[in-house]
Structure 1
């Protein structure tokens, strides 16, 4: 396998082999590069008009971090239509693994053979074969995660890549001249993502980074990629603390009264955070339509948010607050504040009942500084849930291309995340985008936690939660267990055990629960605490799942994670399930167990030492 660079400059010819319109790889721009340096972890290329491309490769124990820098040392401006974040060639593989994702059904593994993807070379090697996929817009995890793994079944070698990119991206698998594959990825290019960027003499542009891992199994390479992520976790959030979010309790209608009621039930229940979700603002017109107006609804919160936050702290928990800072709802007073809203083709960009602030606008930053950061500070919140519930799409005005406009605005959003942390250093930030639409590494490195999904009460929760082990740290993956007064013990076990795949978050009608139900819940909380180190530091070594449908899951799931000679085993049965073999328990010391797995939609977990 060889590292190299792909790029396309506007003035240069496209590649042949019937590939124009399928890919910008192999263009005259790439063929015209001369390698002038290869030293240690750096490769430098130069073309005839004074443009340089530097490939920096930082080799860690288990991964290679790749950065690609384009520098215009020529005398004229040039326009990039494509620049790879990573490019690999000479890969021998027969299977391709991708992770599909839609709302409330994130991370589904899709495995296909080279033959199924029609990626065998043509008979005389003159036709390019291309499989190109990705995502357009400001929800980078929609349809696919920015991830791929190639498998060589014969040698049991895997090569996997994660892109660190919060906007439109693409990955391409190509073959032409022999039986090996090339793998290229980065910002979605001009053909795919409406992106091009003009680089003036003396300017540089750095592509989003990529991290590459090689290993002996899919679990192995995924674990290496996840452990390579370096999130800035708040000092308050190092201990795997348990959350309660009231959204599935009030359904967007929180008040001082019901928050106080929840607090009174959670006293002495080992819950660290209590998050007030959407609906604390506006004028009783619905939480969705009022987004953008962050004025406290004093009918719901007499005395303001500080009174609620103080009461949460009085009850021994850290208060959290929900915002969707980038968006403006249809009933917001800012709906027609067009000077500061994103536009596309000169028209305000409207998606359903949403418009979007221009996050690079100083006026917007000042407004959000007062509305968001000042509110958090003055009221004493230690946790912010940042939601984002629709996508900009292919791009927006403000730069030389729609795709570059999108890139600049999303980078400004990330700067706002950083500003929050600068202003409130210990703040715990939750990354939420209708659940899991922003679960990519560059966003995850800015936050302490993330919503794993919006699948709050579905039976697919343990499937989605286990999927996340392949792409984000379980210690950041917030899994919901929604409690209802009519829940059976088996339903409580099923929900609680699902949270053992990541961070436990409770919700629901907790004040309707009986003492016996609370006993089952608190036993699960205690099990979670004892398993916390395995969840946080361990490695997932087995993931068996026989389900196909997420709406009507059938079969069984078994996941094993281990750390320091201890194992956390999590088993779930779905509809039409079979008894799960417990052979893995033979000759093992069971330190703790929780749950009952004796039929459909039951679950059990074991700690083995």
Structure 2
């Protein structure tokens, strides 16, 4: 297995082997590179036009972090059409693992053999075989996560990669001369992502980084990749505090009155954050179409938002506020503020009822500073939920290519995340994009938490929540338990236990619950707090289910997470399920248990300890 680089310059020939239009790998640009240096931390190449390409490598205890630097030291401008973040050749593998992701169905494991993907050399090794996948747009987790794992089932060796790319990305598996595979990934290229980059003499370009892990199981390599992520968690949020978000209570219609009603019910319930979600702004014309006008609705909040935030703090909780700061709704006063909105091919980019601010525009940043940061400061909010509910698509104007326009604007968005943190150091930032569409590592490193999905009340919640263990830290994965007055004991257990896969977030009609229902919920909250160190710092050693449909899940699921000598075991039953085996429990001492797993759509959790 060898590391190398792939690139394509506009002036150079494409590869043969019937690959043009499938891949830009193997081009004259790559073949024309001469390796001039190889060390543990870098490999340097040079071509005959004085371009230098350096693959930088940082070796950590369990992973290798790689990125590629292109330097134009020649005398003429050049155009990059593809540059890999990582490229590895000579991998022996017979299985490919990917994570598919659609709205409210994030992270489904897809495993295929190389034969199923037709990845074997042609009879005379002249035809290139390619499996290329990725995502286009500003929702980097849509259809797939930027993740892949290759398995050699004979030797039980796994090679896995996570790309740190908040914009369009791609990963390619290539096969030609022999039975081994090449694995290449990075920015979505000219063919796939409408990206190219012009570089004048003296200019450089660096790719987004990738992190690579090797191990003896999918659990092991995923755990290494997740633990390689270095999120900037607010000091306030290190204790795994419980959230309440009122969205599934008011459905986009929060008011001072109903926020007070929620506060009065949550007082002394050990909830740390109360988040006011969408609909606090605008003129009663619907929360969706009014996005972009962040003027408080004084009919809903007489006296302003500070009054609501103060009331939340008086009741012992940290107030939070929702924004979708990058977007403008159809009813917004800014809908036709064309000068500052994104365009594609000279036309304002419109997606349904949304348009998008140009986040690289100083006027936009100044405006958002006033509407977002100053509102948070003046009203005393300690938590911000940043949502993002549609995608720019292939790209936008403002650079030499649509893909480069997209890349620059998304990096500007990330800069605004950092600006919020700089000005309000203790702020807890939640990353939400219609739930899970931005759950990629470069975004996750900017925030304390993220919404795991918009699957707020579906029976697939525990399946999706378990999936997230493969790609993000459970301590950042906010999972909702929506409570309803007609919930049975079994439904309460099912919902609350699902939150044990990450961060507990409550919602729903909590003021309609009986004392008995509240007793079950608070018992679950106590269990969560006792399990918090395992959730936060443990390793997931088992995720077992046979679910095919997320809308109508069947069978059972069991997940086991270990930390030091302690275990958290979480079991769910779905439709047409079998009795859950408890043989695993016999080897350990049960410290605590919660729930009842005695029928379809029931759940139970155990805390165990090795004696």
Same fold (TM over 0.5): yes
- 1:488-544 CA-to-partner distances (Å, cap 9, x unmatched) read 010000000000000000000000000000000000000000000000000000110
1:580 shift after superposition: 1.0
CA deviation profile, 1:403-442 (whole Å, cap 9, x unmatched): 0000000010000000000110110000000000000000
Distance 1:588 1:34 in 2: 58
Which residue is 1:471 aligned to? Answer: 471
Is it true that 1:4 corresponds to 2:4 in the alignment? yes
For residue 535 of structure 2, what is the aligned residue in structure 1? 535
Alignment partners' CA distance in 2, 1:579 and 1:249: 34
Matches within 5 A, 1:475-494: 475-494=475-494
* Aligned 1:95-494 pairs, distance under 5 A: 95-494=95-494
> How far apart in 1 are the matches of 2:218 and 2:231?
23
Partner of 2:602: 602
Hey, what does 2:54 align to over in structure 1? 54
Q: What is the rounded CA distance, in whole Å, between the counterparts of 2:258 and 2:415 in structure 1?
A: 35
Structure 1 residue 40, shift from structure 2 partner:
2.5
Tell me, in whole angstroms, the C-alpha distance in 2 between the residues paired with 1:203 and 1:446. 28
* Rounded Cα–Cα distance in structure 2 between residues aligned with 1:200 and 1:273: 50
SS of equivalent residue, structure 1 residue 586 = helix
Deviations 1:453-497 (A, max 9, x none): 000000000000000000000000000000000000100000000
Q: How big is the shift at 1:39?
A: 1.9
Give the whole-Å Cα distance in 2 for the aligned partners of 1:42 and 1:79: 24
TM-score, normalising length from structure 2?
0.99
- Distance of 1:279 and 1:180 partners within structure 2: 54
Cα separation, 2, equivalents of 1:608 and 1:153: 32
Measure the CA separation in 1 of the matches of 2:100 and 2:547: 15
Once residues 40 and 123 of structure 1 are traced to their aligned partners in structure 2, the CA distance between those partners, rounded to angstroms, is 37
Structure 2 counterpart of 1:71: 71
Matched residue of 2:557: which SS?
Answer: strand
2:588 and 2:193 mapped to 1: Cα distance? Answer: 53
Find the aligned partners of 2:239 and 2:541 in 1 and give their Cα distance: 23
Can you list the C-alpha shifts for 1:372-402, whole angstroms capped at 9, x where unaligned?
0000000000000000000000000000000
Separation in structure 2 between the aligned mates of residue 341 and residue 402 of structure 1, nearest angstrom: 15
Q: Measure, in 1, the Cα distance between the counterparts of 2:525 and 2:488.
A: 17
Residue 587 of structure 1 deviates from its aligned partner by 3.0
Determine the C-alpha separation between the residues in 1 that align with 2:339 and 2:266: 45
Give 3-state SS (helix, strand or coil) of 2:82's partner.
strand
CA–CA separation in structure 1 for the residues paired with 2:203 and 2:470: 37
**Alignment root-mean-square deviation, CA:** 0.4
Q: Partner of 2:509 in structure 1?
A: 509
| CA distance in structure 1 between the partners assigned to 2:214 and 2:580 by the alignment | 32
SS at match of 2:587: coil
Report the 3-state secondary structure (helix = DSSP H, G, I; strand = E; otherwise coil) of the residue aligned with 2:185. Answer: strand
Give 1:323 shift: 0.1
Q: Tell me the distance in 1 between the aligned counterparts of 2:121 and 2:157.
A: 21
Q: Deviations over 1:8-50 (max 9, x none)?
A: 0000000000000000000000000000011231111000001
Counterparts of 1:170 and 1:389, CA distance in 2 = 22
- Cα deviations by residue, 1:170-225 (Å, 9 ceiling, x for unpaired): 00000000000000000000000000000111111000000000000000000000
Distance 2:81 2:456 in 1: 41
| Equivalent residues, number | 609
What are the Cα deviations for residues 557-602 of structure 1, in whole angstroms up to 9, with x where unaligned? Answer: 0000000110000000000000111110113100000000001000
- How far has the Cα of 1:67 moved from its partner? 1.3
The secondary structure found in structure 1 opposite 2:223 is: helix
Unmatched runs of 5 consecutive residues or more in structure 2: none
Question: Could you say what secondary structure the match of 1:459 adopts?
Answer: coil
1:84-125, CA deviations, whole angstroms, 9 ceiling, x for partnerless residues?
000000000000000000000000000000000000110000
Q: Residue 530 of structure 1 aligns to a residue in which SS?
A: helix
Provide the C-alpha distance between the structure 2 equivalents of 1:449 and 1:495, rounded to a whole number of angstroms: 19
Describe the SS at the equivalent of 2:174: strand
User: In structure 1, how many angstroms separate the alpha carbons of the residues matched to 2:323 and 2:346?
Assistant: 28
Q: Give the TM-score normalised by the residue count of structure 1.
A: 1.00
Q: Any idea what the Cα deviations from partners look like across 1:307-360, whole Å, max 9, x if unmatched?
A: 000000000000000000000000000000000000000000000000000000
Question: Which whole-Å CA distance do the structure 1 matches of 2:587 and 2:394 have between them?
Answer: 56
1:507 aligned counterpart, secondary structure: strand
1:568 alignment counterpart: 568
Structure 1 runs (4+) deviating above 6 angstroms are: none
How do 1:35-50 residues align onto structure 2 when only pairs under 5 Å count? Answer: 35-50=35-50
CA distance in 1, matches of 2:178, 2:252: 57
Distance in 2 of aligned mates of 1:198 and 1:279: 43
Measure, in 1, the Cα distance between the counterparts of 2:24 and 2:63. Answer: 27
User: What is the SS of the residue equivalent to 1:511?
Assistant: helix
Q: 2:528 aligns to what SS in structure 1?
A: helix
Describe the SS at the equivalent of 1:17: coil
CA distance in 2, matches of 1:296, 1:308: 12
